[in-house]
Amino acid sequence: MDKQIRLLENPFAKRHTKESPRYALTVLPEYCHKILHENKTWEIRGQKCAKHLTERICIAESGSGMLVGEMVISESRLITRQELEANPDKHQIENLSLVRYKNIYAWTVTDVEAYAQPRPYERPTGAVNWVDLQYFGEIRSAAVRQRGVIAKLDRKKRCKKKAKKEHDRLKRKFPSVYAKEAREDSEWIPPRSAAFRKWCLWDSWQMCSVCSRMVPTDYRRSHAKGTAKGDPQIKACSHCKSNAAQGYWAPTPEDVPRRLRKLSAQTIEALRPLQIHPTFKKPFRAPHGYLIHADMMQFSFKPISVEEALTRLPRKERRRGEKALRYLKGSDGTPDTSSYVEFWRMHQKFLRHRERAIERGDIWADAPVKRMPANFIETAGLEYEEEEMREEDAAWQPAATRQSAKASFLAKVHSAVIGYNSDPQLLQFVYDLWLFTTIGGAKNASGVGIREALANKPYSPEVWRTYHTALVDLQRQIGWPSLFITIAPYEWSFPYHAWMEDELAKSLKERLHLPVSETLHLAHVLTQAVKSLLADTSEGIFAAGPEQGSVVYWVARLEFQDGKRKRRVHRDAQHYHGRGTPHAHILLWLRDVQNMNFANKIHAHLPEEADAEMLDLVTGSQLDWQTSGWPVREEPTEVTKSGTIQLYHPKKAHAQNCRAYLPDVLAALRCHCDVLASDGRAMVLKYCVSH
């Protein structure tokens, strides 16, 4: 660890130790340069300098919000225009016709000092000559004293504003569905769609009655028939049934120590002896999308102690932080099960090393701190102070007794404790830890190159090449697929389960800000849409009876929008591309296609105006930029003797590039849905391989 706390040396830098002035005078940018670098000694004004004469003041460059230097106004005297014209070297004003003051005063500037780097400052709006540099600091101090109330009210206000913005977005996209005067869903949604949407909203997840974790539930035939009990709880999850032998423990609110409850974000940051890199004011996000992984998380020690950081907090937060620190260090009589004290001791050792280096002159006081090596992320206890909650410990357990660090984190995400879902730093930490240990462990265990070591991982290109080969082999055995279906969720209208809506409301977050739960919910719903809504032999969309055809085989793949098909021009009606949202591509092999009634299963036309809700869903999500994918056909939908599906696709729909869709899926999920059929010339597979 001594090697990890070496200091970044720069003995050539200087430290600015002089106390800064309180007041600043705003000066035009061209005159700032002349005062600092061209020996301008007269600052011409229209009134006498009645304030801060002979005081040291800052020079504020007007319009930039920056302090560029310091000076002293030693004298302020009234001069005539003849004196002004006779001393151009003092005022250095090229065009004296611009000086239109009735009384001309020359403020004599002395003891000028230019800053090596401009410094930002805050000032009131409007034309102001003198700026009190401490005024805004005092205002901030007053606000800090009420930070808890102010921040909470501000977050609630912003949350309501964002919720209204989301609703307005839906009203613009699907006005007949989300307008104030819109009909109830039961008045226009088909029964199959209503049953699946109800399952998404209420029954797709159930809570364990023992540990209160959320468990995914399959869409069963009882849900389709409307005979499901609809119990929000299950007796016990697999972890509780196995008496903790399977899976991972999920914390409850009662498991959070009392001293660590109700800590603000500022207090938590002050309690950290480590600085997290990269430290962005706002995490990177795709436009209308999820978090973007920009860099691997790294750590460094903070240049100040935890105790000093706590002293800078408001009194109420400071007291809570000090109690939490005593608990974490085990100095208040609590059991010593915390690993926090180890990092605190390492931090104290680092600060002593740093202080001695500053005294020797090896580094300057404000020198940045070196970051830890990448493998520091595997240090036990880095993210949780309790041993039973650590992801690192899960990652290093024997293979026979563990699943993965990722599974341990997911157990906490689905627990009753709010916050695991919405913390971007914790999410990035778990992802980086999993990726670092997985790649390193695979290479070290196999003794071969990275490409070969990762060949059996689900994210490896080699795995998907194998799946592609298997799909080609399947096609050779059973023939061309009948349908190729794409379902691309639109989060703002997608049916979220009640527990997700509850967590969004309690954490004052909007959609796309619970990336783990949202992604898992979308993937779960899409999976059940394929298995049950489409392919079920009894209650599925293509289940028409024993002699009327059904789904024989299906292949599906979940992907994430990568933006490779995103147009340069932004379009509000369909801007899900490149957001990182999961979507599904599905291949269906149908039996007895000639006996199926596709007219009420697949549509490629615009609904009638009387069906305003479906018309808005189609125009808001089904109109493509380039092509509809189907030829013009004014005749009713039919299936040829060769098994080719010919949809009713009138000129009006073709002219607007209306993609074919499944009405039951569109009404239930309210998102983009695309359907293509095989024409016997491998056109479906040609389109598939591009995905």
| Edge-to-edge order in the sheet of strand 550-560 | 550-560, 582-591, 483-488, 672-677
Q: What is the pLDDT of residue 380?
A: 83
Q: What is the pLDDT of residue 573?
A: 45
Q: What is the pLDDT of residue 319?
A: 93
Do residues 301 and 436 both lie within one domain?
A: yes
Residue 531 lies in a domain: no
- Out of 453, 482, 515, pick the residue that ends a domain: 453
Side-chain-side CA neighbours of 315 within 13 Å: the count stands at 3
- Out of 75, 103, 132, pick the residue that ends a domain: 132
Q: What is the pLDDT of residue 387?
A: 53
> Do residues 586 and 487 make contact, with C-beta atoms less than 8 angstroms apart?
yes
Nearest to 496, CA basis, from 200, 215, 219 = 200
DSSP β-ladder status, 233-234 and 205-208:
parallel
| Edge-to-edge order in the sheet of strand 233-234 | 214-216, 205-208, 233-234
Residue 216 pairs with which residues in a beta bridge?
205
Per residue in 651-680, pLDDT tens?
A: 999 999 999 999 999 999 999 999 999 765
- Out of 105, 132, 159, pick the residue that ends a domain: 132
Residue 95 lies in a domain: yes
Q: How many domains does the chain have?
A: 2
pTM check: above 0.85: no
CA distance 225 to 240: 31
CA distance 42 to 50: 16
Range(s) of the domain holding residue 318: 253-453
Q: What is the pLDDT of residue 322?
A: 94
Q: What is the pLDDT of residue 8?
A: 36
CATH number at residue 38: 2.30.130.30
Q: Calculate the CA 368 to chain-centre distance.
A: 28
Residue 526 lies in a domain: no
Per residue in 497-527, pLDDT tens?
A: 999 999 999 988 999 999 999 999 999 999 9
Residue 506 lies in a domain: no
Q: What is the pLDDT of residue 116?
A: 81
Largest CA distance in the chain: 109
Do residues 262 and 126 both lie within one domain?
A: no
- Amino acid, res. 326: R
Ranges of residues in the chain whose predicted pLDDT is under 70: 1-19, 124-128, 135-153, 279-281, 331-337, 384-403, 544-549, 563-578, 679-691
Residue 430 lies in a domain: yes
Nearest to 497, CA basis, from 205, 194, 186 = 205
> Do residues 76 and 105 make contact, with C-beta atoms less than 8 angstroms apart?
yes
Residue 443 lies in a domain: yes
Residue 568 lies in a domain: no
Residue 391 lies in a domain: yes
